[in-house]
Structure 1
Amino acid sequence: MDIKTKNFGLVSYNVEDVLHFDEGIPGFEGLKSFILLSSEEFTPFKWLQSLDDTDIAFVIIDPKVVVKDYEVEIDEETIRLLEIKDLNHILVFAIVVIPDEIEKMTANLKAPIIINAENNKGMQVIMDNDKYMIKHPILKELKNADTHS
């Protein structure tokens, strides 16, 4: 299938690759269907492109790129809602905010996006701890990751 997006132009995708967010994403509850887009050019960033509103795409990143020992806490309710049978088959992403001043780029490590790769169900969860921040500055970590690769 094809969709015309604001940021990426015409994008082709397979129906089996559609990610389903039954509850949407906080602040965007009406958006239920997404696809993951990536490009070698923009690694380590990816995009969570909405199929419901093709003007909307969230910039996302694997939180372990930013914090090497990042640990996601998944409660029983999330496991039930996403029908997770094996925690090894989940994808975890943090939403990135890129302001006009790129040095102030942040990632939301407190509320990661969790996707069950076995059934493509996803949701954003808010972890109940003070270990991670909603606006974690990431530019320095990204530069360090580049020098250590």
Structure 2
Amino acid sequence: MSNTAHALATDEADQAAAAPRTLVETPYGVFAFDAGNSLFMPSGPLGFASHHNFGLANLPDPNLTAFKLLQSLDDVNVSFIVTPLELHPGLIEPEHLDAGAKAVGLELARSEPLLIVTARTTPEGASLSMNLRAPVLVDFEARTARQIVLGNPQYAVRHPLNAPET
């Protein structure tokens, strides 16, 4: 089981016992966040440096199991859809992730990379892309996350997303 799946695989009894809980109403539904699914981002995501507290949750639609909600607990209007890099193998070289992790004081072995997903409307319809240049590294043991910027320009900010097998 991946770190993301493990961190989010709590049963209802565990969730009921956890306290305190923060309920956040989002465009995707109402989510409950507690110590088990909350993260601290010391630097905030790019462009959101003042946002430090986030929750990570599964989306309620069973057709969207490849995606998670990274929701600001400081501002209900700030959220990101993310997908684990492990569902998209080979897109980022491990040595580049390792260098990025070391640059911000993280160990890649303890971190799980998440990719921010963006939806855009085009003349051909909706398109989804992933930001390969700036993944979010999550350390589930420390309950922290940092968005890193990879120095290699081969990684696109708008890499087309092909739906992973779930």
The TM-score bracket by the shorter chain reads 0.7 to 0.9
Q: Report if the CA contact (8 A) 1:63-1:109 is conserved.
A: no
Q: CA deviation at 1:37?
A: 1.0
Q: Report if the CA contact (8 A) 2:31-2:57 is conserved.
A: no
Q: Report if the CA contact (8 A) 1:37-1:48 is conserved.
A: yes
Q: Helix, strand or coil for the counterpart of 1:127?
A: coil
Q: Report if the CA contact (8 A) 1:2-1:10 is conserved.
A: no
Q: Helix, strand or coil for the counterpart of 2:103?
A: helix
Q: CA deviation at 1:125?
A: 0.5
> What is the TM-score with the length of structure 2 in the denominator?
0.73
Q: CA deviation at 1:65?
A: 2.7
Q: CA deviation at 1:118?
A: 1.5
What is residue 92 of structure 1 aligned with on the other side?
113
The aligned amino acid for 2:54 is: F
Give the length in aligned residue pairs: 137
The aligned amino acid for 2:112 is: L
Q: CA deviation at 1:16?
A: 4.1
* RMSD, matched Cα: 2.0
The aligned amino acid for 1:132 is: Y
Q: Does 1:113 align with 2:136?
A: yes
Percent identical across equivalent pairs? 23
Q: Report if the CA contact (8 A) 1:20-1:120 is conserved.
A: yes
Unaligned runs of 5+ in 2: 1-20
* Residues 73-99 of structure 1, C-alpha deviations (whole Å, 9 max, x = no match): 233232x2x4x3xx3321111101111
> What is the TM-score with the length of structure 1 in the denominator?
0.80
Q: Does 1:125 align with 2:129?
A: no
Q: CA deviation at 1:69?
A: 1.3
* Matches of 1:111 and 1:4, distance apart in 2: 26
Q: Does 1:12 align with 2:32?
A: yes
Q: Helix, strand or coil for the counterpart of 2:121?
A: coil
